[in-house]
Amino acid sequence: MSVGAYGTVIPISIRNNDISNLVDISFVYHETRSFDSLTNAKFEHLDSSVLTQARRSMDNGQGEQDADDIIDGMYNLQLPLRHFNKKGFYTVYIKPKEILATIADVSNLTAFPDVRGMVIDTTQILNESMRTKARTNNNLVGYRVIYLDENGNREDYYRIITSNNKCEPVVSAPNSSSDKTYTYRYEDSSSLIFVTVSPSSAPSFKNNALPYIGKPTQRIMLVNTLFEPIQLDIEMCDHDFDTLSFMLENSQLRDLDNGLVTTFNNENAIYHQSEHFTLKDKYSGRPVYEVKQNKKTNIDYSQTISDKIS
């Protein structure tokens, strides 16, 4: 398990039951840092439930009880062994969840012609939680709108939602049935929402330069702005600082009869064992090599240190 602080301007608290709807997590494994390993790797989705809120004691150290034990902006990240079980390098990418939607219309409010906005049909939002959120008036304020082109590629601009309210269309007086246009009025029983974004009005020095806020049938992504995307690089290895210190600092037993050197952990259990011997020239009998052979598959468990130091 690792612990990390997520958030940029202010520490954001995302409740555990909302994390799956607001956070998207992906990961990729690289066996090595070689170019081929990086090129052929593909990211996989990771269930957002691995991210949970960090908590603390309710005692604030001043003899009082805090009202909430949640540490805002701090989360625990659990790495499931079914995915993170190989020695190598993992890249974990955590970002706000992006929800696909489609602009049904771009128009004005009937009672306020100067107010421009996008109209979104919430029945076309497949994510159930996001669909419910969109149908709650002003619940999308602060969301980022990312525009997609006809090929599904992201445009290099975005807008910020300033309001969203359920609405219904009002038919403007048409000259014929084929050139109907609509404005919109607020209606809480509708499945359509009227979304205002910023910027949406023309600058005072150029009244006819209205900012682009989308067009009918254009696909968009609705993205929360609770935090910026985060990348974590994780290396899985055979040893940590404790196991390395065993070999450097812990007790050892050298058996002079059979050349065994046994290293023990903090509980005096065998951690490592090796056999030391000399190879000699078969003709002259002169020592040529000193050998240290790891005995990890054939450990002599009769080598103990507790009875020898008692």
DSSP single-letter state for residue 178 = G
**pLDDT tens over the chain, length 310 residues:** 334 444 445 678 888 889 999 999 999 999 888 877 777 778 999 999 999 998 887 776 665 666 678 888 889 999 999 999 999 999 999 999 999 999 999 999 999 998 999 999 999 999 898 999 999 999 999 999 999 999 999 999 999 999 999 999 998 766 665 667 899 999 999 999 999 998 887 776 777 778 899 999 999 999 998 888 999 999 998 888 888 899 899 999 999 888 999 999 988 899 999 999 999 988 888 989 999 999 988 999 988 887 665 5
C-alpha to C-alpha distance for 99 and 125, rounded to whole angstroms:
8
Model pLDDT, residue 36: 75
Tens digits of residue pLDDT in 213-267: 999 999 999 999 888 899 999 999 888 888 889 989 999 999 988 899 999 998 8
140 token code pair: 């999308």
- What are the DSSP calls for 128-172, one per residue? HHHHHHHTSTTTTTT-EEEEE-TTSPEEEEEEEEEEEEEEEEEE-
SS3 state at 244: helix
State which H helix or E strand residue 247 sits in: helix 241-249
pTM score, whole prediction: 0.76
Burial class (CB in 10 A: 0-12, 13-18, 19+), 60: exposed
Q: Spell out the domain ranges in the chain.
A: 2-96, 98-223, 241-309
Model pLDDT, residue 58: 75
